[in-house]
Structure 1
Amino acid sequence: MKKIVVLISGRGSNFVAIQECALREDWEHTIEAKIVAVISNRPDAKGLGLAQGYGIDALCVDHKAFESREAFEEKLFEVISRYEPDLIVLAGFMRILTATFVNRFEGKILNIHPALLPSFKGLDTHQRAIDAGVRMAGTTVHYVSAALDGGAIIAQAAVPVLPSDDAHTLADRVLVFEHQIYAKAVKACVTGRVRYENERAVMDDETALELTLFGKN
């Protein structure tokens, strides 16, 4: 059984989208994969209760309880390692991971960023896209590397930026496609249709097309 560990900091909407896809498609029997744990760095994260509702282990490693980032990451590494994960999925995990931590799980950590990377790395992506006057915004699933939002791109979904958009309306429309593309990317990675090789995401043409979405809403 391929084991997936999800890291969150808040409501866990992307976690729920992936878990609902896994239940709907019966991943446990069709591709022998399942989410085995949800871990948050915040004890008040709504997603922990949602994980418990699914019967998934829900744990907190509160970053505020540690004197340094390194001490926090050492405990996080310890907790994650208990599950021997094949894949670690960052789903709204609002902590920047050090190179030391990332390198311990090289090629096993995925993240989703609310922009079409490599554009608009970092925060406030939707407002920055509007301010820049771009016609398309979107979201990107990528492998996590030591560089912020700089890992190999796995999947992208693009949506038009409308003249009436503000940061909130654009974020809401992009989120719909985040939920779709992340579940697809997780499934592709856990089944080996996407592989991490030489700091690149390697896949065939059919998988690449499947992991490219164009929204019309």
Structure 2
Amino acid sequence: MVLSTGINRIRTAVFISGTGSNLKSLVKFSKTKLSPISIEFIVSNNSKAKGLNYAKKFKIKKKVLNFKNKKLSENNLLSILKKNNIEMICLAGFMKILSKNFIKKFKGKILNIHPSLLPKYKGLNTHQRVLNNKEKYSGCTVHFVNARLDSGKIILQKKVKISKKDTEISLAKKILVQEHKLYPKAILKVFNL
């Protein structure tokens, strides 16, 4: 696939574990004229992930790996990605931590979206932790993936005001809306578009 500007689109895989709402927004973005990426592969560690339905809907290849044996799963995955000429990976609610070895193979070419304003609230249960600490703001961050959890170079962030009425669920929904806008913007920024 060639961009209207004459650049080849970057063959991208999206890794998911759940509903795939960020995957859906990335697929929509990838079909726009401006997009530097084309989504060629979906990977999940969860065979029941609702997001896998988008593979069928958008005719994208998919692979489910259970990661019970991490090394085996990652080696299997690396050969699949190589075979499909995947050049970039977008993590979108992928609930497994990739090994240093895997990350090294895609150095600087793995992005992740995290539902907090990093470096605050790395890891899981971010919304509950933010509320417990009575923060006034939370948000989301797109960053490069390195060997340390949620510690890679930040590409873009979006701040979200927390209201007194917010619960873990309402805050998660509010932030998710922003995630869908932020991820495509961050990809454009990575490619200086």
Could you tell me the TM-score, scaled by structure 1's length?
A: 0.80
Partner of residue 94, structure 2:
93
Partner of residue 47, structure 1:
51
Q: Is the 8 A contact 2:29 2:35 kept in 1?
A: no
**SS at structure 1 position matched to 2:90:** strand
Count of equivalent residues: 185
Q: Is the 8 A contact 2:36 2:188 kept in 1?
A: no
Counterpart mapping for 1:73-152 below 5 A: 73-152=74-153
**SS at structure 1 position matched to 2:141:** strand
Partner of residue 3, structure 1:
11
Q: Is the 8 A contact 2:127 2:171 kept in 1?
A: yes
Runs of 5+ in structure 1 lacking a partner?
194-206, 208-217
Q: Is the 8 A contact 1:9 1:41 kept in 2?
A: yes
Q: Is the 8 A contact 2:111 2:143 kept in 1?
A: yes
Amino acid aligned to 1:146 = A
Deviates more, 1:173-182 or 1:5-14: 5-14
Matches of 2:122 and 2:36, distance apart in 1: 34
Counterpart mapping for 1:1-217 below 5 A: 1=8, 2-23=10-31, 25-26=32-33, 30-31=34-35, 33-64=37-68, 68-189=69-190, 192-193=191-192
**SS at structure 1 position matched to 2:127:** helix
Q: State the identity as a percent.
A: 38
Amino acid aligned to 2:45 = N
**SS at structure 2 position matched to 1:139:** strand
Amino acid aligned to 2:131 = I
Deviation of 1:31 after TM superposition, in Å, equals 4.8
Matches of 2:85 and 2:41, distance apart in 1: 11
Amino acid aligned to 1:41 = N
Matches of 1:49 and 1:133, distance apart in 2: 37
Superposed CA offset, 1:160-214 (max 9, x none): 011111111111100000011012112333xx21xxxxxxxxxxxxx7xxxxxxx
Superposed CA offset, 1:126-167 (max 9, x none): 111111121110000000000000000001111001111111
Q: Is the 8 A contact 2:26 2:184 kept in 1?
A: yes
Label 1:109 to 1:32 Cα distance change in 2 as closer, same or farther (>3 A).
closer
Q: Is the 8 A contact 2:155 2:189 kept in 1?
A: no
Q: Is the 8 A contact 1:12 1:92 kept in 2?
A: yes
Partner of residue 213, structure 1:
none
Partner of residue 3, structure 2:
none
Matches of 1:161 and 1:121, distance apart in 2: 18
Q: Is the 8 A contact 2:30 2:36 kept in 1?
A: no
Deviation of 1:32 after TM superposition, in Å, equals 5.5
Q: Is the 8 A contact 2:17 2:45 kept in 1?
A: yes
Superposed CA offset, 1:14-58 (max 9, x none): 0001111222x23xxx55631111111122222122122111112
